[in-house]
Structure 1
């Protein structure tokens, strides 16, 4: 597998979530496409037209984080954050601390970031948007 690019579904707050992720993770937006700018525009209300049809955030390591606003009016129903985790592998303990601190703002820490029995510096959290994250630093250990 060349790349693994996570795709997230939100209940109408994709833009807010991705501005937050960009502020913590860095990178650049490659695409921001709204429903009003697509062939689906006549199927949504004016308010929903401003929602995100597709967004992509390219991170410095080449990973592309993508998402959409899953509109119930178009038959999309989701349960936020319960079916996956996003795993971040940091390049140092200091970077792991920074990522964990940033993502946990307004969220809930599940496992505090600390040295684990298997040797990794690891923690888990759910961010303020209901997305579950794992932050990991393995040093020179194989993943």
Structure 2
């Protein structure tokens, strides 16, 4: 982890992880998507992650444990209406690594009519990820 501030261009997703599993999510994203942890800030006492910053495929991803005392109760049962997309050089390599790490297949990877190799996965924390890349011969 670096003490150097990391500047984020554009829009950065910020995920809330239920059930105190943000540390598990960081470990999963590192294994499944090759994430690099940039920083981690714990609450006083160190039981929960207040903020973590990762880099995935050269893009920023922030996350934290859910804090019901700060945001009005329990988080949504499952994240909804958002898909995190990874556009990569070899979609099958990224796909296979994520599935091996424990991601569930939501939409199988295949060559698609719009000219991309594409599929969707759900991570163990309920977040949907799509992986796309060049058509595979």
Same fold per superposition (TM over 0.5): yes
Matches within 5 A, 1:47-126: 49-59=46-56, 61=58, 63-74=59-70, 75-79=72-76, 80-91=78-89, 95-104=90-99, 105-126=101-122
- Unaligned regions of 5+ residues in structure 1, if any? 37-45
How many pairs does the alignment contain? 123
Change (3 A) 1:32 1:128: same
> Conserved in 2, the CA contact under 8 Å of 1:70 and 1:76?
no
**Secondary structure at 1:86's aligned position in 2?**
strand
> Conserved in 2, the CA contact under 8 Å of 1:88 and 1:136?
yes
- Unaligned regions of 5+ residues in structure 2, if any? 1-8
User: Could you state the TM-score of these two structures normalised by the residue count of structure 2?
Assistant: 0.78
Partner Cα distance (1:114, 1:21) in 2 = 22
- Give the C-alpha shift of residue 98 in structure 1: 2.0
Superposed CA deviations along residues 4-46 of structure 1, whole A, max 9, x for unmatched, are 321101111011111111123334322100111xxxxxxxxx5
Residue in structure 1 matched with residue 125 of structure 2 by the alignment: 129
Which of these two proteins has the greater Rg computed from alpha carbons?
1
What is the root-mean-square deviation of aligned Cα atoms in Å?
Answer: 1.9
